[in-house]
Structure 1
Amino acid sequence: MSMRNGKVHSVTCNGADVNKPFKIFVGYDPREDLAFEVCRHSILKRSSIPVEIIPIVQSDLRKSGLYWRERGKFESTEFSFSRFLTPYLANYEGWAMFVDCDFLYLADIKELRDLIDDKYAIMCVQHDYAPKETTKMDGAVQTVYPRKNWSSMVLYNCGHPKNRILTPEVVNTQTGAFLHRFQWLEDEEIGSIPFVWNFLEGHNKVVENDSTTFPKAIHYTRGGPWFDAWKNCEFADLWLNEMEEYMKEAKKKIQE
């Protein structure tokens, strides 16, 4: 699953290569296959730029010899640590994005790509967040730690020298604190993105008549409508509508 491409000279805009599809790596967990498909659909449907969506599948990474760490008791998904292979999988070139599969995009990904600034090693929404729940999704333990949710959607400057530390060896052996808190970086190397791009369902709030608070990407971090226990969570209707649209299109493709 290592994407090795020949180098091509091309034009960049705000650090993003406009001649190549923008690479988006999405965390994949077999229990959340539908969430992945709906997230993918929501990005593709609204994107005005070419994108390449690549699932980070742990079983594939293991077969390729890129991932071998044992699953810890606090890992609620299969991509808890494999997400940090993003710069490696992008061949340490250009900018790429990682996002959890429990997102629903409501805006054009070009708007997000246009926020890219080459002076940063990574960019993310810098939440100040302490979850109230002790469990999430299908009973997984809800852990609390500094920079909680920062790593759930990250724009990686894959060519930044600091990100070369994220080798398979480091991703497989380093602590959760080192990786999820971005301890290989200085604070000033972490750029900030408006919270509406990682709008935490149940935590962030829409302010009436203030369009700057309307979500551009909803993150169902506690659990989404694809789990029975979260069928009635906030913004469930938006996700279910997107799911129905995805199902109709998928059915149509099978029939063609």
Structure 2
Amino acid sequence: MTAEINGVSSNGHEKPFKIFIGYDTQEDVAFEVCRFSLQKRASIPVEIIPIKLSELRKSGLYWREKGKLESTEFSFSRFLTPYLANYDGWAMFVDCDFLYLADIKELRDLIDDKYAIMCVQHDYSPKETTKMDGAVQTVYPRKNWSSMVLYNCGHPKNKDLTPEVVNKETGAFLHRFQWLDDSEIGEVPFVWNFLVGHNKVNENDKSTFPKAIHYTLGGPWFEVWKDCEFGDLWLNELEEYQKVEKN
């Protein structure tokens, strides 16, 4: 058995950074572009795993019925990330409606082992009543915090996120990280979960330039959102992805 320090085993090989992406059958192309944008820019080994509801149900890991306020197939299954990572090391969960513009190594290097999780701590109250393809927009504390999370999967508190807990607990308990103390939640810069329509770029301040764009209200893969802010960047990435797939 080889020892491991900071994700590097004693034989010198770097373990892939596990990234779980929420998958929705209505947004397959969003998942593919998100995955492509991550892999293309990564300077470290990454292992990208879709969280697919059908597979989780088939394997008996997910059995809760879909609630009226769930806008995606991964609204709750996202919290299985530590379990799916075998409660080992750090892993990331991210919604599929993201476009990465920077090397994921930059985000991984911000990891601090004293935290159970790390995320962008948005102060966000959407004005819209609907999002994406007509789904109801809900407002709650810590909204969008759970849309991209770095999980310290081996942290004792995260071992409480068993399939049983994920299947029975309320949305409030899970999305507000109520299994943790506030001191166990670390913060990363907002540019790693840059909310289209909410966060703003200051041309004179490079620290405001997005590294990961989150099309939280709806992305260019929906006809009605084709002209949204930063939509051109996503469409360019889609075109590049399609060219690579053809070759």
TM-score strictly above 0.5:
yes
| Aligned-pair identity (%) | 80
Equivalent residue for 1:80, pick from 64, 75, 84? 75
What are the superposed Cα offsets for residues 226-247 of structure 1, whole Å, 9 maximum, x if unpaired? Answer: 0011011000000000000000
C-alpha displacement of 1:13: 6.1
Aligned amino acid, residue 133 of structure 2:
D
Please give the alpha-carbon distance, in whole angstroms, between the structure 2 residues aligned to 1:87 and 1:8: 22
What are the superposed Cα offsets for residues 197-228 of structure 1, whole Å, 9 maximum, x if unpaired? Answer: 00000100001121000000000000000001
Indicate conservation of the 8 Å contact 1:11/1:18, yes or no. Answer: no
Aligned amino acid, residue 12 of structure 1:
N
CA RMSD of aligned residues (A): 1.3
Equivalent residue for 1:48, pick from 14, 19, 43? 43
Equivalent residue for 2:142, pick from 134, 147, 167? 147
Aligned amino acid, residue 198 of structure 1:
N
Tell me the secondary structure at the aligned position of residue 68 of structure 2: coil
Aligned amino acid, residue 98 of structure 1:
F
Equivalent residue runs for 1:115-154 within 5 Å: 115-154=110-149
Residue 213 of structure 2 corresponds to residue 218 of structure 1: yes
Please give the alpha-carbon distance, in whole angstroms, between the structure 1 residues aligned to 2:13 and 2:211: 22
Indicate conservation of the 8 Å contact 2:116/2:152, yes or no. Answer: yes
Please give the alpha-carbon distance, in whole angstroms, between the structure 2 residues aligned to 1:21 and 1:158: 15
Indicate conservation of the 8 Å contact 1:106/1:215, yes or no. Answer: yes
Residue 166 of structure 2 corresponds to residue 187 of structure 1: no
Indicate conservation of the 8 Å contact 1:103/1:217, yes or no. Answer: yes
Partner of 2:87: 92
Segments of 5+ residues of structure 1 without an aligned counterpart are 1-6
TM-score, with normalisation over the residues of structure 1? Answer: 0.93
Residue 13 of structure 2 corresponds to residue 12 of structure 1: no
Tell me the secondary structure at the aligned position of residue 243 of structure 1: helix
Please give the alpha-carbon distance, in whole angstroms, between the structure 1 residues aligned to 2:80 and 2:22: 11
Equivalent residue runs for 1:196-211 within 5 Å: 196-211=191-206
Aligned amino acid, residue 25 of structure 1:
F
Residue 154 of structure 2 corresponds to residue 159 of structure 1: yes
Tell me the secondary structure at the aligned position of residue 121 of structure 2: coil
Partner of 1:232: 227
Indicate conservation of the 8 Å contact 1:97/1:156, yes or no. Answer: yes
C-alpha displacement of 1:19: 1.9
Aligned amino acid, residue 113 of structure 1:
R
Partner of 1:4: none
C-alpha displacement of 1:9: 2.1
Tell me the secondary structure at the aligned position of residue 72 of structure 1: coil
Residue 19 of structure 2 corresponds to residue 24 of structure 1: yes
Aligned amino acid, residue 118 of structure 2:
M
Indicate conservation of the 8 Å contact 1:27/1:98, yes or no. Answer: yes
Partner of 2:64: 69
Partner of 2:108: 113
Partner of 2:170: 175
TM-score, with normalisation over the residues of structure 2? Answer: 0.97
Indicate conservation of the 8 Å contact 2:21/2:93, yes or no. Answer: yes
Indicate conservation of the 8 Å contact 1:36/1:102, yes or no. Answer: yes
Indicate conservation of the 8 Å contact 1:99/1:152, yes or no. Answer: yes
Please give the alpha-carbon distance, in whole angstroms, between the structure 2 residues aligned to 1:18 and 1:216: 27
C-alpha displacement of 1:8: 4.6
Please give the alpha-carbon distance, in whole angstroms, between the structure 2 residues aligned to 1:19 and 1:243: 30
C-alpha displacement of 1:10: 1.9
